[in-house]
Structure 1
Amino acid sequence: MKAEPAVQRRLLDLAQVDAELSRVAHRRRTLPEINEITEAEKQVRAKQDALTTVETTLGDLNREVKRQETEIDQVRAREDRDRKLLQGGTVGAKQLTDLEHELATLERRQAALEDDLLELMERREAVEADVQHARVELDKAQEALSDAARRRDSALADLESTEAKRTAERAVVVKQFPEPLLALYDRVRKHKGIGAALLQSRRCGACRIELDRSAFAHVKEAAADEVVQCEECGAIMVRTAESGL
């Protein structure tokens, strides 16, 4: 394939644009914020699970406290009824003995229930503190996730802006090349990553491998308008005064 040396040199401009587009694509795939978001999402789920666990425990304790308070109220009501019967003076001797025994039992029962209630309330207070701590931790995790997402979106916006500019620039640049040369360039770039590079000091600018004596002799003997490719990577080697020919 043949192409004017000036046209071949302009391939370097195209390669530079494509290199930046490749960097944009690579940067988009490897944004550190992507991993940050993945880890932050794991933390949010873990903190949410932790909060759900302590909230469930708190709910259980609240129900237990309510049940205990209800039972204490029932014991107190039974005690008040028995005392009123005693004070009324209308019961017989046997019933009086039974009431006194029941009151003593109710007093012990109430004391035990109140001790249990106090322990439950102390446990509830501790769990309430755990709930508050878990909510704070969840808020922190959610904020970290939001921050990472904001930074990712900002980085992506910058990349999209750069990509749009370079894509528009490429659309203008490619019009300078004959179709066969452009097709060769694009084919090599698709398979090897770099379509064209400067041959500098006997070294291919794409793969950075120095040409051996035979390959260098072949390039040196080629006509100026001959399109030559690297034997190692296939990239079009653009020859200039820096090529060492």
Structure 2
Amino acid sequence: MGPTYSALDGTRPRPPVLGALGYLLSNLPLGVAGFALMVTLFTAGLGTAIVWVGLPILGLAVLIARAAGRFERARVHRMLGTYVVTPYKPLPEFGLKARWRARLTDGATWRDALYLVLLLPLGIAEFTLMVAFWSVGLAATALPFYCEYLPGGAYFFPSYDLRWIAVDSPVDALPWAALGLIVLALAIGLTRGLGTAHALFARAMLGPGPRARRLAGSATDQPNPVA
């Protein structure tokens, strides 16, 4: 049995915590930009294609999608430590029409565009989880150092106006700090887990398609010829 396709384009993703955190937080603004570009350009291009004005717009959308795909593959490699094979079919050396036909019939082009659209909902979920876990964990862990400087000279839970629990000294804040350490441990695991999941998603969307993976897997299963 030959190696799996993931073994051909990189080891199993195991992103560093800080790299994954930066990557997951940056997915929201990049997702907003990618979604806006793809939806705006493709909608405008398709809507005006009947009068030929939309064709240059659609061509621009295709070029941006492929450029963004290259950027994302580099970003995944740099921040998540996961290599994604470039999936594009070679463009013909001559002929503008032939080169554009190759771009438009290449499934990797459309997977790039779809990835940019899906990056928005993924970015919202990832950003929300990262901010929630890391902010709660860091705030609770550091509570003994700043609780006396808060308004009213204490930390009030759940709010300043609804004071079920009052923490007004570093000693009283120690249990909260211990809870914060637990949340930080969960945040580290969640960050690495989401980074791994997104790396696998990026590899599936931005790497070679299913047919290319099957062909690569078949090639690795072939016995080596005897010299």
When normalised by structure 1's length, the TM-score is 0.31
Query: Based on CA coordinates, which of the two structures has the bigger radius of gyration?
Result: 1
TM-score normalized by the length of structure 2: 0.32
